[in-house]
Chain A
Amino acid sequence: KNEVEQSPQNLTAQEGEFITINCSYSVGISALHWLQQHPGGGIVSLFMLSSGKKKHGRLIATINIQEKHSSLHITASHPRDSAVYICAVRSHQFYFGTGTSLTVIP
């Protein structure tokens, strides 16, 4: 049983499409993170959320604490957005989803 579930596991989109990645979790949390892992393996933190919504450029992250659900949206997707997106939650420790592999085709 995973404390963090992501969907979809894999996603292919045409350049310009609006993309949504979902994350559900089963534990009480103090914060939720969205991370991006590029094909080279490096991991970068995109957002940290404890409530509401955050926006950074074309990326938007939302969280609903009552429903234990978060979404990551990418507007006007671009091939350089191709990466694995990982949802992580902080409970008494960090728990990670298995990631959503996104490929954006030109």
Chain B
Amino acid sequence: NAGVTQTPKFRILKIGQSMTLQCAQDMNHNYMYWYRQDPGMGLKLIYYSVGAGITDKGEVPNGYNVSRSTTEDFPLRLELAAPSQTSVYFCASSYFGQGSYEQYFGPGTRLTVT
């Protein structure tokens, strides 16, 4: 299994540009998550999904959109990039069954908006 994969690893965007961060998992996990990690801060949940076709906002959803058309993929869309979105983005997945919530993380995408 490849686990959780993210692309790209690095990206520089200009203010106002848009992009999609890709996330895929091959573990048949039903839950998927997008987090951002700012320097010196804890991970913050942006959006999550409990299954294909179902998404919900996390703690910091403004400026982002997601979709979950398949179990495997959970892309994160930035429509109008702003410097405040400069961060490292982590995608994660977990299988919710019998109370198990262990999360598996992707390697991260480092995004700079200038």
Contact = CB atoms under 8 A, between A and B. Distances in A.
A33 B40 CA distance: 19
Interface stretch (A12-20, A38-46, A55-63, A65-73): A38-46
On chain B, which size bracket covers the interface? 20 to 34
A41 B107 contact: yes
Contacts of B99: 30-31, 50
Contacts of A31: 99, 101
B74 interface: no
Contacts, number: 53
Interface stretch (B12-20, B43-51, B77-85): B43-51
A103 to B, nearest CB: 17
A48 B101 contact: yes
Contacts of A48: 100-102
Interface string A83-106: 000101010011111110000000
11 contacts: A33-B103, A35-B103, A41-B110, A43-B108, A45-B104, A45-B105, A48-B100, A88-B43, A93-B48, A94-B43, A98-B40
Interface of B: 33, 35, 40-45, 48, 58-59, 88, 90, 92, 99-105, 107-108, 110
